[in-house]
Every structure is written in C-alpha cells, then in structure tokens.
Amino acid sequence: MADYQAPLRDMRFVLNEVFDAPTLWASLPKVAENVDPDTADAILEEAGKITSGVLAPLNREGDEQGCKWNDGEVSTPEGFREAYQTIVEGGWNGLGGNPEFGGMGMPKTLVAQFEEMMQAANMAFGLAPMLTAGASLALDAHGSQELKEKYLPNMYAGVWSGAMDLTEPHAGTDLGIIRTKAEPNGDGSFSLTGTKIFITWGEHDMAENIIHLVLAKLPDAPKGPKGISLFLVPKFQVNDDGSLGERNSVSCGSIEKKMGIKGSATCVMNFDGARGWLVGEENKGLAAMFTMMNYERLGVGIQGIGAAEASLQSAREYAMERIQSRAPTGAQQPEKAADPILVHPDVRRMLLTMKGYVEGGRAFSTYVAQWLDISKFSDDDERRKHAEGMVALLTPVAKAFLTDRGLDACIMGQQVFGGHGFIREWGQEQLVRDCRITQIYEGTNGIQALDLMGRKVVGSQGKLYELFAEDVAAFIEENSNDETMRPYLEPLAAAFERLSDVTEHVIRQAGDNPDAVGAASVDYLDLFGLTALGYMWAKMVKAAAPKAETDTSGFYTGKVKTARFYFDRLLPKTVALAEGIRSGSGSMMALTAEEF
C-alpha cells in the first residue's frame, strides 16, 4: 500500500491555473483581507505534511481498533487524541471560520483542498473536524450574538467539537415526522427530550465539550417540516464566564457496528430533558440546518474524491511494480520474468478512469466551492444571487456524482490489485468500505438526484439549469477559434446539447406524469455529472495545453492525454443515459407489487 501523499501539484494547478483563485479572492474584500497567494500556498504545504505524516499513518489501526463504548463514554482509537491535538494546535478547526470569533476566514476554494487531504488520509478521523466546521457555520449564520460569542471561539479552536443531530429511528429522509420535543423553560432555554441515531462523533474523548445542533419540535409547532426548530445542546453546560459546568442530560446510549469508517463513533444520542437554546427563529430549523448542509454535502463529495485519490495512488504504484505476463506488443522488460501490469490495456483503462474521475472531480469540487465563496462573501447583490442559484443547482451533483464515482474508483483500485486488493494489508478493501457511506449519509444519492431533478430543475422550470448552461455555453463560445481546443469543445458541446434537450424533455413530461421526475432523476444526475466533468476537463486542457509542448515533467502532457481519454471513453456514456431518460417511467412503474 502506497503511503498517501497530498496531491499538492494538482491542487495548485486547479486553484491557480484553472480557476485563478487569487483573482477571485482579491475580488471579495472579506476574503482578500485574510488570504493572499503566499498564505494559501503555505497553508497547502503545511496541510500536506500534517495529513500525510500524522493522519494517514493512523488510518488502518483506527479501522481495526475502532471506537469503544463503555457505560455512555466513548474512547477513540490509539493515536486519535494526539492527532486531534495536532489539528487543534495548528488552528485547522477554524480554517474557514469567522475571524470575529477566532476563525481564520479562509475561502472554501482553499479549505476544500485541505478537506480533501484530510478525508483521503483518514476519513474516519476527518469527520470530526468536518462536523465541527459545519456546526460552527450554522451557528455563525443563524445563532444570536450571545450564542456565537459563547460557543464559536472554542469550537474554532477545537477545544469543543460539534455534532449534527437530525435522524431518528423512524425518521431519516422525512424529517417532518421527527418526535424530539423542546419545551420552553421560561428563562430563554428549552428542555429537549428524544432520541437521535447515526450521530457522527456525537460522543468521544478528543475534546472537552461537544456542542450538539439538534432538530426538535416546539409544543405548538405546525406539522411537517415547517414545524422544525434548531437547538444548541452542549454536552456540558457552559457557565457565564466560559468555564464548564455540570453535565447536561444528554448521553450516548450506544455506538453502531459499521461496515466502514470504524475509527469514528456513530452514536445513538438520548436527550432526557437536556437544556438547550434556540438557534435562529422558531420553526425555521431546516433553513438553518441547510446552511450547514450545503457545505457538508460538498464536503461529502470531497470525501469521495479523497478516498478515490488514495486508492489511485496505491493502484498506480502497484501497477508499476507488479509483474505479470507480457505486453500485447511484446516484452517491455525482457530482463525480467514478466512485464509490469501497467502495460496491459485493461489495467490502463481502470487507472485512467480513476484518474479522469479524481482529477475531474477535484476541479468540479473547486468550481462549486468558488460559487460558495461568491454567495457568502460578495458585496454585489446580483453576483451573490447568481452564485446562490449555482450552489443550489450544483450541490446535489457534487454530493452524489462525486461519491458514486468515488466508490467506482475505489473498486477499480481494488481490482488492479487482484486478489491482493481483497486482503487487509494493502488497504484497498478499507477504502471501499469507508467510501460506501458517502453515498448514504447527508441525504442518500437517490434523494440528491430527486432534489436536482425535481426541486432544482423542474421546480424552477429550468431557470436554475440555465445558469449553468450559460456558463458552459460562454466557455465554448470564448474558445471556439482555438484549434487546440476544438477536439474537446465539439464533444463537450454535443454532450451539453444532449443534457439541455433531456432537461426540457423531463420538464415537459413532469407536467402530466407524477412519476416522470423520479424515473429520470438518477440517470439525469449522472448525465449532468459526466457533462460537468467534461466541462472541467476542457477547462483543464485550456490551462495545460499551452505548457504541454515544453513540459519535461509529464504533468501537463499527462493532463492533456487524460482529458483525451475522458472525452473518448467516459463522456460518451451520456448517450446511453439520455436514451434511458427519454424512455420515460412506463417500464419502471409497470410491475405490480406481486410481480416483484
């Protein structure tokens, strides 16, 4: 198993050469005062050292040891507490946090690169800072000044961690039927009672306090999603002077035994009259939570990329060293008993597919992060509104497409190893197990597809889609006279036209067929994702091609050749997806329950 090394060269290429992030940051005054190119580069360099040198070596042992539950207390795998302190001491928990409360105020375009490194190195561990950052974001956006001053500094510092408590035993996707109750105490606080399940890092021994953001219903709340409120519930009460008080009435009833991410604690949390405080307005809890979930869903997509990057690194090294059989064109290393398996077309197919999805996905996650930065930091109302529309449209694609392809890539990496990929010592089977959850949590990928097709595309009558369509069309038009780009723009334009035609087709179908959206949604998201990555690869060719002619490192030439593979072998999958979508819902809905 190759030791994970942060792909800093490619991250710098994406940030600086593809998206010109420094120019974006300079256009956002609230960002410009906190980051410049030198600062960003230093952050990337240090992040690479910590994730590769501290987190990655703990990944396998964390998986094998797992977290342990004992009478409500959860102990973490050996080395996790020390690694957490390293993260805390470096200020990494507050990397994207509000500087007013001790955060570093870094843009998501930069933070996303650190998140990928952390998730690739050790996904189970990486979930803890990820959840704290998300909880901090929601609190900063919707909490009162008093709550922010009281909790955010220690959360950004990592002294306290955060958790998100949504799911209940009977209510997963349908949060409108949650039963957790919040009763007012008459002093501005509330007593929360109920049970939450699948709470990532809901209890552990790495931080001195855990701040839970809990969805619950007030006594007179309307039924359904419109009756949900958000509450802050600390594990330990916090005194007026900031010191910790008595233990709150919140406890961990058990932790789950899971397929993967075993180094993280997935908790059943019991609230028995636990004292909490309202975050935001009454009955507006879902809106507050979705502030966090837009960021978290991109973060989960980044987890998919990270796992796939780790798998690619190992598979690539193995393919160069493992010798089996001879190349179809004759012996490449006649002095050895066989040639490296890298010579075989099928091994190259797998590695290039992985590379196409990983590097294309990295560019796409940065593209989405760019819109998040504009939507959060821009002083221009029109620009910010445009960015908010792009974020709404692209978030489900980032979450679902990147994790679907992430698992595909991990399985391909395992396949490159053959039988050795099925065995513990090479690490590939753990990546497959760990990556699998990314398709399930933060809203299953089927739900993401429904959100994209139903709410974002059909629900807006195509208006949100038009924002993306205009961006792609403008790029194609701007580069139409560039002969170097022509071999990439033509297939991109064809895929883009295919996506636009199918979009209009489903919008028309949905008018009189209630099943049209659900029947089309998953294939539509894949079609959208493949086209979006085609756009990313075209942008990367534009940045790399001028430098490829004099490139001696292989970076730029490899980038252009990988793009060619993507357009030749992966983007054509859009043809089959479009045909499937156009077939409608008839065959999908035809069977009776008995016929299954």
| Residues annotated catalytic, as ranges | 442
Break the chain down into helix, strand, coil percent, rounded to 5.
60, 10, 25
Q: What are phi and psi of 215, to 5 degrees?
A: -85, 130
8 A C-beta contact, residue 200 and residue 163: yes
State both tokens at 17: 């050469």
Please tell me the distance from the alpha carbon of residue 130 to that of residue 299, in angstroms, as a whole number: 8
Dihedral sign of CA atoms 421, 427, 429, 432 in order: negative
Distance of CA 547 to CAs 193, 496, 538, 556, 567, Å?
61, 27, 15, 6, 20
In the chain, what is the straight-line distance between the N-terminal and C-terminal CA atoms, in Å? 43
Angle at Cα 533 formed by Cα 528 and Cα 537, nearest 5°?
150
Torsional class of 29: left (φ above 0), alpha (ψ -120 to 50), beta (otherwise): alpha
For residue 490, how many C-alpha atoms fall within 13 Å in the half-sphere facing its CB? Answer: 8
> What is d(CA 183, CA 189) in angstroms, rounded to the nearest whole number?
9
User: For the CA atoms of 484, 485, 487, 489, what is the dihedral angle to 10 degrees?
Assistant: -170
Q: Which residue has the tokens 């906190």?
A: 34
Contact between 521 and 452 under an 8 Å Cβ cutoff? The reply is: yes
Residue in the structure block whose two tokens are 């987890």: 303
Length of the chain: 596
* Residue 309, φ and ψ in degrees, nearest 5: -65, -45
Q: Residue 251, Cβ neighbours under 10 Å: how many?
A: 19
Please tell me the distance from the alpha carbon of residue 264 to that of residue 581, in angstroms, as a whole number: 39
**Are 175 and 166 contacting, i.e. CB atoms less than 8 angstroms apart?**
yes
Distance CA 270, CA 202 (A): 10
Contact 538, 530 (CB under 8 A): no
DSSP-based three-state secondary structure for 112:
helix
